């Protein structure tokens, strides 16, 4: 038998009633069904099992976990207790007691248990968030009222019962009206607190972002002030990162062609110190065929970055419609003679034009002394499935 | 080109604009104490004599479309060349529209989708206007657009003014949806 913990505890997970069986089973090292059967057998022996169960419930503390709410425990005790008392009344008083005592007590107990669970010290008072909140509250109140009225009526008869009930309602109603402002104030202050919490969280998020990236970049820039290329690169990287964080927070996953292009352009900027400006229209999910398109566009970007010089930015325009997707990569460099590329050299001819043609697309390279534009087009099948990559 | 005034926040901007009635107002989208929307609404009565060119660091759809719908004649980003900026100011002063590639992209995005047959002309772009927007979005200058489409620069400017008008006045349902999706309004 493993060394037992210093004290037996009731375990809330996997319990049926109070966790006494589960706790005991773990403490003594006995299998759970044995313990439960034991209690059942003892319960039949003149109710000894029930008494023992309740006694152990009182003595054994509940093992707390962060998720468990403290007062579901008390609620369960009430419910169970009510059922037990009801059954006891039944056994003692015979079946005539069923209508008069047992049922009302059980109902009353259940109602109290529900209400305690909702509004007891452990429960949260946010009436707005849980849509079953109102149903449960009303159910609880109804049960309590039903149980109470039945008990009352069975004691003093209908007429007296109704009169008493009327008086009681007046008292309770008056008290509720008196308490209403106080309750509203508590509710409102809770909402206010929650709002403040959210605001504080936002502020912390921003502070972290600024500290982690922006401050560090500014420090690096100061340290590298002699190297203009490095400074420019650092500034550009940080600008892009901040811009993405501010304006395109959903852009992190590369699930659309546009975001894949943005990612690859960022890498090109980093590697070659270029500046890439991206405009995208429409959305297209990534799949194996668009991979070829993105690869060709990357190649085009690299070419532009290598040969166009750092002066003017490289413009990328991507347009996705339902039947095709086009990408245009444009730079303002010195241009080159497309036809003069020898056929055996890889580069423009193979990696861009050839690759795209193999995927069923089309690539056109236009170059002049004022700049180069590479136009990539890929028709999409009407029934293309979304990304598997 | 002379600078007749400089405002530092929404209040002072509105005051100075009312006092000096410039031909063109270069308006930053984000100002202390508010944003360009407030200035544009505050100066709405001057719309005929004064024209607004919006300027911003961001290319966020909310900034861009928002100011255009409120009456700005154009939108440029802060990393624009000084010569291009002067050119843009001159264009706006003479009544034309200035589109940055990003704004052109947003226009194409917002007016995408096949409109209904009975749709008002105001709510869709003609094929020619789409071509112009596409070329602007691809990074072509006005001259290059004119060369590409074999028309004069003036024609290009006319098309762009027409697109600007449609963007400002369109009540197209998809445009509203698109704007909502991009958290503009």
Map residue A32 onto helix, strand or coil. helix
Q: Which residues of chain A make contact with B134, given a CB cutoff of 8 A?
A: 317, 319
Query: How far, in Å, CA of A276 to CA of A265, rounded?
Result: 6
Residues paired with A362 in a beta bridge: A377
Question: Residues of B at the A interface (Cβ-Cβ below 8 Å)?
Answer: 58-60, 101-102, 104-105, 108-109, 112, 134, 137-140
Q: Which fold has domain A254-379?
A: Heat Shock Protein 90 (3.30.565)
Which comes out higher in pLDDT, residue A288 or A178?
A178
Q: Give the DSSP letter of residue B3.
A: -
Mean pLDDT of all residues in A12-26: 74
Question: pLDDT in tens for each of the 185 residues of chain B?
Answer: 888 888 888 888 888 988 888 999 998 887 777 777 888 888 888 877 889 998 887 777 767 777 888 888 988 887 788 888 999 999 999 888 998 888 888 888 878 765 655 566 777 888 899 999 999 988 888 888 999 999 999 999 999 999 988 888 777 666 666 666 665 54
Q: Which fold has domain B10-181?
A: Rossmann fold (3.40.50)
CB nearest B138 (choices: A247, A313, A328) = A328
Q: Does this model's pTM top 0.80?
A: no
Q: Which residues of chain B make contact with A311, given a CB cutoff of 8 A?
A: none
Contact A277 B134 (CB under 8 A): no
pLDDT at A38: 84
List chain A domain ranges.
20-191, 254-379
pLDDT at A305: 85
Please state whether A290 falls in left (phi above 0), alpha (psi between -120 and 50) or beta.
alpha
Residue position matching structure tokens 């028709």: A379
Q: Which of A383, A379, A382, A347 is nearest to A365 (CA)?
A: A347
Say if residue A386's pLDDT is above 90. Answer: no
Percent of chain A with pLDDT over 90: 10
pLDDT, one tens digit per residue, over A64-118 is 665 555 556 666 777 777 777 777 777 666 666 566 677 777 788 788 877 776 6
Check if the interface score ipTM surpasses 0.95: no
């Amino acid at each position: 038998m493993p060394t037992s913990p210093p004290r037996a505890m009731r375990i809330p997970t996997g319990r049926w009633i109070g966790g006494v069986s589960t706790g005991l089973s773990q403490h003594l090292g006995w299998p759970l069904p044995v313990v439960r059967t034991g209690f059942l057998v003892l319960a039949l022996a003149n109710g000894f099992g029930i008494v023992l169960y309740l006694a152990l419930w009182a003595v054994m503390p509940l093992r707390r976990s962060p998720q468990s709410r403290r007062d579901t425990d008390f609620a369960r005790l009430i419910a169970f207790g009510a059922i037990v008392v009801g059954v006891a009344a039944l056994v003692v008083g015979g079946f005539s007691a069923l209508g008069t005592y047992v049922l009302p007590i059980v109902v009353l107990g259940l109602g109290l248990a529900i209400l305690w669970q909702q509004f007891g010290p452990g429960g949260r008072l946010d009436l707005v968030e849980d849509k079953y909140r109102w149903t449960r509250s009303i159910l609880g109140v109804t049960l309590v009222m039903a149980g109470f009225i039945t008990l009352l009526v069975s004691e003093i008869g209908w007429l007296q019962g109704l009169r008493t009930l009327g008086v009681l309602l007046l008292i309770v109603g008056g008290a509720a009206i008196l308490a209403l402002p106080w309750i509203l104030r508590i509710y409102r202050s809770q909402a206010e607190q929650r709002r403040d919490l959210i605001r504080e969280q936002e502020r912390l998020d921003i502070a972290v972002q600024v500290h982690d990236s922006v401050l560090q970049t500014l420090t690096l820039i100061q340290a590298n002030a002699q190297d203009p290329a490095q400074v420019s690169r650092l500034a550009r990287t940080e600008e892009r990162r901040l811009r993405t964080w501010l304006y395109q927070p959903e852009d992190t996953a590369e699930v659309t062609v546009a975001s894949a292009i943005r990612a690859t352009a960022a890498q090109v900027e980093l590697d070659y110190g270029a500046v890439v400006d991206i405009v995208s229209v429409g959305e297209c999910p990534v799949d194996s065929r668009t991979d070829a398109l993105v690869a060709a566009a990357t190649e085009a970007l690299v070419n532009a970055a290598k040969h166009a010089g750092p002066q003017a930015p490289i413009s990328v325009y991507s347009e996705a419609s339902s039947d095709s997707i086009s990408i245009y990569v444009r730079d303002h460099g010195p241009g080159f003679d497309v036809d003069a590329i020898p056929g055996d050299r890889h580069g423009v001819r193979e990696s861009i034009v050839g690759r795209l043609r193999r995927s069923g697309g089309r690539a056109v390279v236009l170059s002049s002394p004022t700049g180069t534009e590479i136009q990539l087009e890929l028709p999409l099948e009407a029934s293309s499935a979304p990304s598997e990559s | 080109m002379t600078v007749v005034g400089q405002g530092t926040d929404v209040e002072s901007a509105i005051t100075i604009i009312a006092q000096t009635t410039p031909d063109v107002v270069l308006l930053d989208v984000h100002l202390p104490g508010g944003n360009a929307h407030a200035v544009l609404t505050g100066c709405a009565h001057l719309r005929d004599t004064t024209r607004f060119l919006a300027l911003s660091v961001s290319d966020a759809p909310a900034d861009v479309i928002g100011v255009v719908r409120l009456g700005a004649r154009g939108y440029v980003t802060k990393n624009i060349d000084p010569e291009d900026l002067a050119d843009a100011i001159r264009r706006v002063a003479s009544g034309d529209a200035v589109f940055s590639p990003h704004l052109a992209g947003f226009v194409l995005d917002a007016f995408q989708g096949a409109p209904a047959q009975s749709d008002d002309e105001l709510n869709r772009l003609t094929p020619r206007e789409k071509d112009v927007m596409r070329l602007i979005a691809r990074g072509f200058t006005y001259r290059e657009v004119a060369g590409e489409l074999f028309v004069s620069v003036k024609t290009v400017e006319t098309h762009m003014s027409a697109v600007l008008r449609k963007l400002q006045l369109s009540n197209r349902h998809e445009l509203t949806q698109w704007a909502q999706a991009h958290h503009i309004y």
